């Protein structure tokens, strides 16, 4: 069992992710990063979004990076990457997480053999997306789980249920999701909403990013303890 880490919300530091005077997230260029105390170390992780076409991979990536959410399905051509910075206190220590998110369009993954190996190479976590209103995206999950990583990768695996707020159209039950979590040991993050409420974007997204970074940190500790 992984130890429980005391996680601080680091709200003051989260303000450094915004365009000054607004609630909008700033896009950091390749040579830029949020202005945190120099003593805060930064750690980089590669995250791969995997799932059926229209399951919400691009939607989720945009949600995590605070960018505009797609209102309709536009197939992602090839691989699209986005960097997300997230400051978090672990114990007494402030750490700047840099998540390099790789989003590959499903039709490109199926059409070109090089896409999946490129996404899997050196991956730290895989986010397996399914939509609760698309049964097929859910039934595909066990197959995706085995093809998302290779046994030696030891990547963290997290499933993401999108359109979770669309209760009346749901095609996946709570009991099925609970059973999946228990059988595969893979937690399911539940996302939804329209993203219309821009005033509070960071408050909505913070629990998801906290969960993800905490999971990555725990995985590092587990890997270190295996090596010792
Ligand atoms: N309201 C809402 N819409 C969502 C959610 N997840 C996905 N969508 C919508 O679903 C559609 C498809 O989502 P995308 O993120 O583009 O799908 P994708 O998985 O990237 O698809 P490919 O790039 O073709 O592989 C878009 O219209 C999104 O707006 C959600 O949680 N809530
Ligand atoms: Mg896409």
Q: What is the band of 7 on the pLDDT scale with cuts at 50, 70, 90?
A: low
Q: What is the band of 4 on the pLDDT scale with cuts at 50, 70, 90?
A: very low
Q: Is the pLDDT of residue 58 over 50?
A: yes
pLDDT value, residue 198: 60
Over residues 98-108, the pLDDT tens digits come to 999 999 999 99
Q: Which atom of ligand 1 approaches the CA of 129 most closely?
A: 19
80 C-alpha to ligand 1 centroid (Å):
15
Give the position of tokens 């998302």. Answer: 148
Q: Alpha-carbon distance 5 to 220, whole Å?
A: 12
Residues 6+ apart with CB under 8 A from 199: 23
45 C-alpha to ligand 2 centroid (Å):
20
Over residues 185-219, the pLDDT tens digits come to 999 999 987 666 666 788 889 999 999 999 999 99
Over residues 110-121, the pLDDT tens digits come to 999 999 999 999
Instruction: Look at phi and psi of residue 44 and say left if phi exceeds 0, alpha if psi is from -120 to 50, else beta.
Output: beta
Which of 28, 48, 6, 17 has the alpha carbon at shortest distance from 150?
48
Of 1-15, 23-37, 145-159, least confident by mean pLDDT is 1-15
195 C-alpha to ligand 2 centroid (Å):
17
pLDDT value, residue 164: 94
Strand ranges, E, within 22-135:
42-51, 79-90, 93-104, 125-131
CATH homologous superfamily of 7-23+37-227 equals P-loop containing nucleotide triphosphate hydrolases (3.40.50.300)
Q: CA 78, 189, 50 angle in degrees (round to 5)?
A: 20
pLDDT value, residue 120: 94
What is the average pLDDT across 52-68? Answer: 95
Q: Alpha-carbon distance 115 to 109, whole Å?
A: 5
Q: Alpha-carbon distance 199 to 224, whole Å?
A: 40
Q: CA 180, 45, 189 angle in degrees (round to 5)?
A: 25
Contact predicate 57/50, CB 8 Å: yes
Query: Does the beta carbon of 76 lie inside 6 Å of ligand 1?
Result: yes
**Probe residue for ligand 1, chosen from 48, 52, 59, 68 as the CB with the greatest number of ligand atoms within 8 Å:** 59
Q: Alpha-carbon distance 103 to 78, whole Å?
A: 8
Residue 224 tokens, joined: 């270190």
Q: Is the pLDDT of residue 80 over 80?
A: yes
Give how far Cα 169 sits from Cα of 135, 164, 173, Å.
Answer: 10, 10, 11
Q: Alpha-carbon distance 191 to 164, whole Å?
A: 6
Over residues 123-157, the pLDDT tens digits come to 999 999 999 999 999 999 999 999 988 777 789 99
Percent of the chain residues topping a pLDDT of 70: 93
């Amino acid at each position: 069992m992984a130890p429980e880490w005391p996680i601080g919300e680091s709200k003051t530091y989260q303000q450094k992710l915004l365009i000054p005077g607004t609630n909008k997230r700033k896009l950091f260029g390749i040579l830029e990063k949020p202005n945190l105390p120099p003593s805060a170390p930064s750690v980089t992780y590669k995250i791969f979004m995997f799932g059926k076409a229209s399951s919400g991979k691009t939607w989720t990536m945009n949600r995590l990076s605070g960018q505009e959410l797609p209102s309709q399905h536009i197939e992602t051509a090839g691989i699209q990457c986005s960097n997300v910075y997230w400051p978090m206190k672990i114990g007494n220590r402030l750490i700047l997480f840099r998540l390099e998110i790789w989003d590959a369009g499903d039709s490109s993954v199926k059409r070109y053999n090089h896409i999946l190996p490129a996404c899997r190479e050196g991956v730290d976590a895989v986010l397996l997306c399914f939509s609760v209103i698309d049964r097929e995206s859910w039934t595909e999950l066990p197959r995706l789980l085995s093809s998302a990583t290779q046994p030696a990768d030891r990547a963290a695996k997290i499933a993401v249920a999108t359109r979770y707020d669309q209760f009346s159209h749901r095609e996946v039950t709570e009991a099925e999701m609970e059973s999946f979590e228990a059988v595969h040991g893979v937690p399911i993050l539940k996302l939804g909403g329209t993203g219309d409420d821009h005033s509070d974007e960071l408050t909505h997204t913070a629990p998801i990013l906290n969960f993800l970074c905490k999971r990555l940190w725990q995985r590092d500790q587990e890997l270190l303890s295996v090596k010792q």
